[in-house]
Structure 1
Amino acid sequence: MGTTLALGAVAAVGITAARPGEHRAASVAGAAATTWPLVQGSPGKDTGTSLSGLAAAPDGTMWAAGGQQASGVYKPILQRLTGDTWSNVALPAAAAPYRFNAAAATSASNLWLAAQLNSSGDSHAVLRWNGTAWSTFKVPLSFQPSDIATTGPASAWVVSSSAAKRWNGTSWADTPIGIKPRAITAVSPTSAWAVGWAGEGLPATAHWNGTSWTTVPFPPVDGVVRGEIASALSDVYAASENDVWAVGTVRVPDEAGKTVSRSMLAHWNGTKWTSVLGAAGTYMTKVASDGAGGIWVSAGDTMRHRTAAGVWSDASLAQPVGTKVRSSEMAIRPGSTTVWAVGWTTTDATRWADLAHWRSN
């Protein structure tokens, strides 16, 4: 498996440090699970809404972004957190053809949105709010914005499934990236990380140094199954230049030779990436700060917490009766230890979506 990562009581959440050539399941035992309450949503109302993006600015401003489908008509949704209440934000007419996939912000006057075309038109787009007015930057249909990051009004990145663009304060420019990115995070204008996959479906990472992207070696996964379904990293969070976390899922054979999915947790210490795999059937989709030196990771309706000391515990998202729940993004509210998750609930009867917000405490 390459170099393994010392993560403390990893067995508590189904993660086990794997030795080279070894694939074994971990026991699942540990701290009793807690529940994140559903703070705001409309479960069972069949509103056709969902949230996919969440941005937290250092000044405490938070935004949630997504879209709505009703009677065959799509429209974007943007919300802003005031106190503990999420309220809808008016959008310009230029936003109407799009659905927001991701959001990033550094202040109440620097918000960026990755926008996917949901109606007839000739382009996807990136939208920006500068505190006074909206700007819309169109990008080709061949470039579908999937994630976005920013460190200020003159510094932003957006990625699609195979490419990356950078905003220099004046215009967007293509920046060859060397991997197929799924997520991006930025530490400063001269340091950003993208994660995803490359080659024949292998997890991969790339680093921006202020001038160009460089593919950074990632520990090989012994026995990884290569094919149409990629083993990939799906999210990345940078606490600092030398403290970066990434999560994802890999496909490997189990003891009987059957292909199974296993979650992957990886860490960059400033010199190299190290990683561990979870038990068969586990997966991880998102990672975020806990505000106290640790991290939260998500896997659908399950939240897993690792303290700065490496101790793991589980939490679940409140699930209204008759529904299923799904988180799509999470972020720490700056200046606190409260983590917000956004996503949607679906009713068992209709399977129609309703946007949802959960909070850790």
Structure 2
Amino acid sequence: MAGTIGALSGITLGAGPARADAEAPRSRGPRNVQDWRAVPAPGSTPAAQLRRMSAAGAGLAWAVGEEGLAGPSRGRALAMLWNGSAWSKTDLSHLNYSGRLSDVAGVSSTAAWSVGLPTGGASPLLRWDGATWREASFPGRGEAGVRLESVAVGSDRRVWICGARGGAARLLLGDGKRWTWLDPLPVASANLYRVVLRTPNEVWVSGDLASGGGWSGLVARWNGTNGTWTVLPPITGARLGIGDVHAAAADDVWAVGTEAGVGGPPGRPGNPALAHWDGTAWNRVQPGFTVGSLSGIAGDAQGRAAWISGWNYQDQSRSTYLRRDGDGWTVVRGPAGGATAPYLNDVTAVPGTGGFWSAGMTSPVPAPATEAYTERLDG
């Protein structure tokens, strides 16, 4: 795999921050927003982290990741459930899977899905039945080289999964009973990390694309009406991976990720990357801080990009967000005291409300005694 999206995804620090090809967003600098508050997510075994989350409403949400990380240990899958008042750890001991769950998506108490990184060959596909997680069959299950990276569920309950099969990046589409691998992405050496739905038939993916010994940011759209791909021009950068994408319209698309850069000592973070597609070209935008990462992006009830989760390496005392402010973005800090040095991996909207969830871990390094961590913004 070219790029690695996730906690500390940029392993080296370039000579300077990512260049802004567009006017920097209006920003009044960091400010405290007391509405974001830490919500305990107990029960996981350190080191633990939540990678992605999904909400069906104010009283139902899921979050997945990994726990039990220690040194070279890969840890084991972690899944948590929100019942409207508290997070609880979900038992996964009955599953024949011990790897990291990388994404989750759900729209009701019996329509939620999760995927995980491959262990011993291929990725698992899990379905929430209202009480527990069960493994589901799909074409290629157990097949070497099959990788399921991200999942999204539409209002029509159809399930969209991005990943790889047969050496090509592609989508897996299903309804819980019948599954079909769609035509591969028409580019070589691509990795997909995120799938999101704008409408039941307009599907967006993001990731990276091998380029000149490194990689550049990749965003593409699947048109479910005629079954065709549209691949946007690559987002150029020094080893740039796009971890999340939000499309309000075909000419209003935001992409976030991390630019690993070139050179620098091992273990140093990269640069946060924020780009906007206006229907003609990508415009790079300064996110308001220069060292760290951007991990997730969520829209409001009108479908407009609203919040971005991130990590500011130069100020780790609180969580870091970008909030949509007119046509630009403003840096916003999370609550004080929620964790010593919180790191966010994702942000998602709560349907039917004006609220949002974010998830990650209590430290930027997934090692003991790092624990699963969430914050909430009430709408």
Q: TM-score normalised to the size of structure 1?
A: 0.75
Q: Of the two structures, which has the highest relative contact order with CA contacts closer than 8 Å and spacing of 6 or more? A: 2
**1:34–1:331 CA distance, 2 compared to 1 (3 A):** same
One-letter code aligned to 1:62: A
Counterpart of 1:302 in structure 2 is: 320
Shift of 1:290: 4.0
Gaps of 5+ in 2: 1-16, 263-268, 312-318
One-letter code aligned to 2:208: W
Counterpart of 2:232 in structure 1 is: 217
**1:272–1:128 CA distance, 2 compared to 1 (3 A):** farther
Shift of 1:266: 2.9
Shift of 1:325: 1.5
Bigger strand share = 1
Assess if the C-alpha contact under 8 Å between 1:285 and 1:298 holds in 2: yes
Other structure's SS at 2:31 match: strand
Separation in structure 2 between the aligned mates of residue 16 and residue 356 of structure 1, nearest angstrom:
32
Assess if the C-alpha contact under 8 Å between 1:60 and 1:335 holds in 2: no
**1:212–1:48 CA distance, 2 compared to 1 (3 A):** same
Separation in structure 2 between the aligned mates of residue 86 and residue 132 of structure 1, nearest angstrom:
14
Assess if the C-alpha contact under 8 Å between 2:235 and 2:282 holds in 1: no
Shift of 1:331: 0.6
Shift of 1:40: 0.8
Other structure's SS at 2:46 match: coil
Counterpart of 1:127 in structure 2 is: 126
After TM superposition, list the pairs within 5 Å mapping 1:85-124 onto structure 2.
85-91=86-92, 93-94=94-95, 96-117=97-118, 121-124=120-123
Shift of 1:100: 1.1
- Provide Cα deviations, 1:231-282, integer angstroms capped at 9, x if missing partner: 23221123456643211234679xxxxxx9553323345x445322326435
Shift of 1:295: 1.3
Separation in structure 2 between the aligned mates of residue 195 and residue 148 of structure 1, nearest angstrom:
12
Answering whether residue 300 of structure 2 is matched by residue 287 of structure 1, we say no
- The counterpart of 2:341, out of the listed 320, 324, 329, is 324
After TM superposition, list the pairs within 5 Å mapping 1:74-89 onto structure 2.
74-89=75-90
Assess if the C-alpha contact under 8 Å between 1:110 and 1:129 holds in 2: yes
Separation in structure 1 between the aligned mates of residue 19 and residue 324 of structure 2, nearest angstrom:
14
* Equivalenced residues, count: 326
After TM superposition, list the pairs within 5 Å mapping 1:1-361 onto structure 2.
18=21, 29-30=28-29, 32-34=31-33, 36-41=36-41, 47-57=46-56, 61-69=60-68, 74-91=75-92, 93-94=94-95, 96-117=97-118, 121-131=120-130, 134-137=134-137, 138-151=141-154, 152-159=156-163, 163-169=169-175, 170-173=178-181, 175-177=183-185, 178=187, 179-200=190-211, 201-210=215-224, 212-218=227-233, 221=236, 224-225=237-238, 230-239=239-248, 243-250=252-259, 262-268=271-277, 271-278=279-286, 280-281=290-291, 283-291=293-301, 293-300=304-311, 301-307=319-325, 309-310=326-327, 312-318=329-335, 320=337, 323-346=340-363, 351-361=368-378
Shift of 1:101: 0.9
Assess if the C-alpha contact under 8 Å between 1:98 and 1:116 holds in 2: yes
**1:95–1:33 CA distance, 2 compared to 1 (3 A):** farther
Separation in structure 1 between the aligned mates of residue 377 and residue 131 of structure 2, nearest angstrom:
32
**1:251–1:99 CA distance, 2 compared to 1 (3 A):** closer
RMSD between superposed Cα atoms in Å: 3.7
**1:181–1:213 CA distance, 2 compared to 1 (3 A):** farther
Assess if the C-alpha contact under 8 Å between 1:60 and 1:334 holds in 2: no
Assess if the C-alpha contact under 8 Å between 2:162 and 2:193 holds in 1: no
Separation in structure 1 between the aligned mates of residue 86 and residue 184 of structure 2, nearest angstrom:
40
**1:46–1:318 CA distance, 2 compared to 1 (3 A):** farther
- Provide Cα deviations, 1:54-83, integer angstroms capped at 9, x if missing partner: 012368631111222178684422222222
Separation in structure 1 between the aligned mates of residue 277 and residue 162 of structure 2, nearest angstrom:
22
Query: Structure 1 residue runs of 4+, over 6 Å off?
Result: 24-28
**1:338–1:26 CA distance, 2 compared to 1 (3 A):** closer
- Provide Cα deviations, 1:95-126, integer angstroms capped at 9, x if missing partner: 543431111122222111012245xx443211
Separation in structure 2 between the aligned mates of residue 154 and residue 347 of structure 1, nearest angstrom:
35
- Provide Cα deviations, 1:134-156, integer angstroms capped at 9, x if missing partner: 34233534233222222244432
Separation in structure 1 between the aligned mates of residue 46 and residue 195 of structure 2, nearest angstrom:
30
Separation in structure 2 between the aligned mates of residue 266 and residue 321 of structure 1, nearest angstrom:
30
Separation in structure 2 between the aligned mates of residue 276 and residue 264 of structure 1, nearest angstrom:
8
Separation in structure 2 between the aligned mates of residue 190 and residue 144 of structure 1, nearest angstrom:
23
**1:17–1:346 CA distance, 2 compared to 1 (3 A):** closer
One-letter code aligned to 1:129: W
Separation in structure 2 between the aligned mates of residue 96 and residue 199 of structure 1, nearest angstrom:
30
One-letter code aligned to 2:33: T
